[in-house]
Amino acid sequence: MGTLLIIVNIAFMILLLYGLYFMQKKHVSFSKRVFLALGLGVVYGFVLQLIYGAGSEVLNGSIQWFNIVGTGYIKFLQMIVMPLVFISIIAAFTRMKLSNNIGKISGMILSILVGTTAIAAAVAITVTLAFGLEAVEIPQGEAETSRGEQMEQRAADVTTRTLPQQMLDFLPANPFLDFTGARPTSTIAVVIFAAIIGIAFLGVRRKNPEHAQTFSKIVDTFYSIVMRVVTLILRLTPYGVLAIMTRVTATSNYEAIMKLGKFVIASYVALLIVFIIHLILIAISGLNPLTYVKKAIPVLTFAFTSRTSAGALPLNIKTQTRDLGVSDGIANFSGSFGLSIGQNGCAGVYPAMLAVMIAPTVGINPLNPGFLATLILVVAISSFGVAGVGGGATFAAILVLSAMDLPIALAGLLISVEPLIDMGRTAVNVSGSMTAGVITGRLTGELDTAVYDDTKEQLEV
């Protein structure tokens, strides 16, 4: 009977997937298909949990088959990340888009990423205090205790590494290893390696123009092929979103979410404010923030459902270049750096909220100006260190809580709502990197305003 029910669930999923395919054939816009997939996934996942229960064998069996579409899509995106970053950075040099101001561009992007992370920390502190959140209010069960112990064990390794050691991890000691994504900082290492090759190309062009021209043609050829692969993969976005969102809503622990509803709401209020700040910064730079929202929505929707900034990178870069008018070089730098540095959601909002919640448990007044100023500074600095220890909100929390001499184990109390909160954090992380790219392009004069202001939907794949 269980096998039959699984087959029925799979058949209904296939029917939904075919519906999205039919809409594509009818030339329904990409954004509409992504949003519809999101809505269908929420409804279908909720219905499945309502019928079978979150831990049932039928549901788990069905989800495993759904993952062929959802997780498979994410794997395809991750597959193309390194080739896309590598060839795009080199192409930016061969096309004379990064030859004179690479230092200015990278410095500006990093400043925006880290600066917005500090702002995100201040927002998180304000929201946490406004909601009156404290760690002692959170119920502690076996899962929470186990999670806390795991975080303490990780902290023992994390806190032994100094910031200079973590920064050295950015360098590509073995670029071929980094192409496999073996290290947390592999993406940035590939960016640096590609930039070094680009700088070498500029030297060769001065001394041997014929060789440089041959190399440039080869790069253009590979760039065209890689971008075509990106296009083919992005066509799968609505199907991937449908499967991913079905899994998320079908397996969520709604009882735990209700118990920690106050923290979940506060988290999303803080994340929403940070996103609004992104829009304000874009408006200050002289661009229409509503245009940014319209064109960034498909990327942010995917980041929200998939909870992977790295997986969203191809869609992030293509949206910046094709829809928002950002140059290839800037889009790749902002997208790649944004994976590990200055993550507004994971490295900004989350650890700051935890620190303010946990402080009263050790007798620290969270309203103390010295404590708050130190916390914002530590969050900003630690947003560099996150990459050196593996990335993600958990490591950011460990770094910040350790630096502030706060008990790390209490951060494990939120394990039951981590997936739900992480969805919003990831979307804000990606928005932060895109905002850095758009503003940097605007300030350096390398943003095509005609493309940015074009209200026609361009991300048709």
Q: Per-residue DSSP letters for 391-404? A: -SHHHHHHHHHHHT
Q: Are 261 and 414 in contact (CB under 8 A)?
A: no
Taking Cα atoms as reference points, which of 254, 309, 319 lies closest to residue 422?
Answer: 309
User: What number of other Cβ atoms are within 10 A of residue 162's Cβ?
Assistant: 11
Backbone φ/ψ region at 66: left (φ over 0), alpha (ψ -120 to 50), beta: alpha
What six digits make up the tokens of 346? 């994971």
pLDDT digits (tens, 9 = 90+) for 40-61: 998 999 999 888 887 788 888 9
C-alpha–C-alpha distance, residues 301 and 244, integer Å: 11
Q: Which residue, chain included where needed, has tokens 């900003």? A: 380
User: What number of other Cβ atoms are within 10 A of residue 96's Cβ?
Assistant: 11
C-alpha–C-alpha distance, residues 266 and 222, integer Å: 46
Identify the segments of the chain with pLDDT beneath 50: 144, 388-391
Instruction: Output the pLDDT for position 153.
Output: 57
> Is residue 112 exposed (0-12), middle (13-18) or buried (19+ Cβ within 10 Å)?
buried
Instruction: Output the pLDDT for position 457.
Output: 54
Taking Cα atoms as reference points, which of 155, 185, 167 lies closest to residue 384?
Answer: 167
Decide: helix, strand or coil at residue 445: coil
- Please name the amino acid found at residue 104: K
What six digits make up the tokens of 340? 């590990």
C-alpha–C-alpha distance, residues 101 and 332, integer Å: 15
Domains and CATH numbers, the chain: 2-453 (1.10.3860.10)
Instruction: Output the pLDDT for position 446.
Output: 85
- Please name the amino acid found at residue 147: R
pLDDT digits (tens, 9 = 90+) for 242-282: 998 898 888 877 776 776 778 889 999 999 999 999 999 99
DSSP assigned state of 174: S
> Is residue 154 exposed (0-12), middle (13-18) or buried (19+ Cβ within 10 Å)?
middle
The residues, any chain, with a CB within 8 Å of residue 178's CB and separated by 6 or more, are 82, 172, 186, 187, 189, 190, 193
Instruction: Output the pLDDT for position 64.
Output: 92
C-alpha–C-alpha distance, residues 113 and 337, integer Å: 8
| Backbone angles phi and psi of 327, in degrees to 5 | -70, 155
Instruction: Output the pLDDT for position 389.
Output: 46
Instruction: Output the pLDDT for position 428.
Output: 94
The residues, any chain, with a CB within 8 Å of residue 321's CB and separated by 6 or more, are 327, 328, 331
Integer-rounded Cα Rg, in Å, for the chain is 22
C-alpha–C-alpha distance, residues 341 and 16, integer Å: 38
Q: Are 348 and 121 in contact (CB under 8 A)?
A: yes
Q: What is the dihedral of CA 73, 77, 80, 81, to 10 degrees?
A: -160
